Amino acid sequence: MGTIGLAVIGAGYWGPNLVRNAQATPGLRLEYLCDLDADRARRVLGGYSTVRVSDSLDEVLADPAVHAVAIATPAKTHLPVAMAALEAGKHVLVEKPLAATYAEGRELVEAAERRGLTLMLDHTYCYTPAVAHLREQIRSGALGDIQYLDSVRINLGLVQPDVDVLWDLAPHDLSIFLSILPDGVVPLSVAAHGSDPIGAGRACVAHLTLQLSGGVMAHVHVNWLSPTKIRTMVIGGSARTIVWDDLNPSQRLAVYDRGVDRVADDIGPETKAQTLVSYRTGDMVAPALPEREALRAVMAEFQASIAESRPPLTDGRQGLRVLSILEAASASLAQGGAFMPVLGELVAEVSA
């Protein structure tokens, strides 16, 4: 395939970012910006753009110049909009989450696979240089055996009208976990606790605890109400630990050769009784990382996956795995924080 004609669906909060990066991506040609509010779409494009504006999804999907769509509409609309695009033979890039429910997400994945079309998730953080480096370090064994993951994603707003803070913010962390964890290390169950101190009608502060295969534990803290913005992740391994501070451009990653080692089993009982662990103190290394806009890499991957007829890094199956965790988390929240099994895609991986 030559140049891929693209339509962006949705001119709200995220749509303008898709427009800007699509126009800067070789191999993509932006044909339409589609929104129910055509005036808003025109304001996004500006007065000199040659990109067409439409308030009709049917019109856009009927145009043979459109080969793919990028969807930036509310989660509850993802199923009808993405399904209409797939049925029209268009490749689909969709904003997180994949759909409003696991069942709806599975419909989309199966529809794309039946038609041989690309279905990709805009899990933007998975395309950052930091996450690429994390993936390489973890999967190469440089950290040793993974022992724990701890992530904090808090800021002031935006309180969403249709989803709670788990469904709004946690998909970022969950998609990162799924992208960087070694093969065979997957979430088995999840417990969620949340609160709504401002009376918004949905959880605004929440904590997730995930039990992973191999005895690994992961923790996610998400919060709409914090006056300060924090985006950090700590990944502890038996050999090294990595700290990722996404808001520190001068040192996003720090790799520590520091930790706690268990005393060897073959030492004498008297010594073992006195010293159960030993502390390792080594160097800290801050790897140099390139600075680039992750969404540009998302668009480049979407274009390449279509042109090369291959699954993208964050394909529909990954989106379905995130939904399976979110649904288990919602069930746990309703049950007062009880651990709930993660069903669907992840269970199939463990049993395979």
Tell me, what CATH number does 99's domain have?
Answer: 3.40.50.720
Residues 144, 193, single domain; the answer is: yes
How many folded domains does the chain comprise? 2
Residues 207, 336, single domain; the answer is: yes
Strand order in the sheet with 28-34: 52-54, 28-34, 4-9, 68-71, 91-95, 119-122
The pTM of the full predicted model, rounded to 2 decimals, is 0.89
Residues 202, 173, single domain; the answer is: yes
Tens-digit pLDDT profile for residues 71-96 = 999 989 999 999 999 999 999 999 99
**Residue 124 amino acid letter:** T
- CATH number where 329 lies: 3.30.360.10
Residues 342, 263, single domain; the answer is: yes
Residues 93, 131, single domain; the answer is: no
Residues 153, 115, single domain; the answer is: no
Measure the CA angle with vertex 219, ends 346 and 265; round to 5°. 90
- Structural domain including 218 reads 126-293+322-351
Q: What is the DSSP letter of 293?
A: -
Strands 259-262 and 68-71 come out as: unpaired
Give the Cα separation of 342 and 190 in Å (integer). 7
- Joined together, the tokens standing for residue 298 give 């998302």
Tens-digit pLDDT profile for residues 150-202 = 999 999 988 888 889 999 999 999 999 999 999 889 999 999 999 999 999 99
- Joined together, the tokens standing for residue 27 give 């191999």
Residues 13, 94, single domain; the answer is: yes
Give the Cα separation of 201 and 207 in Å (integer). 17
Residues 94, 198, single domain; the answer is: no
pLDDT band, residue 347 (cuts 50/70/90):
very low
Residues 85, 148, single domain; the answer is: no
Give me the residue label for tokens 């989450």. 97
- Decide if 207 contacts 221 (C-beta within 8 A): yes
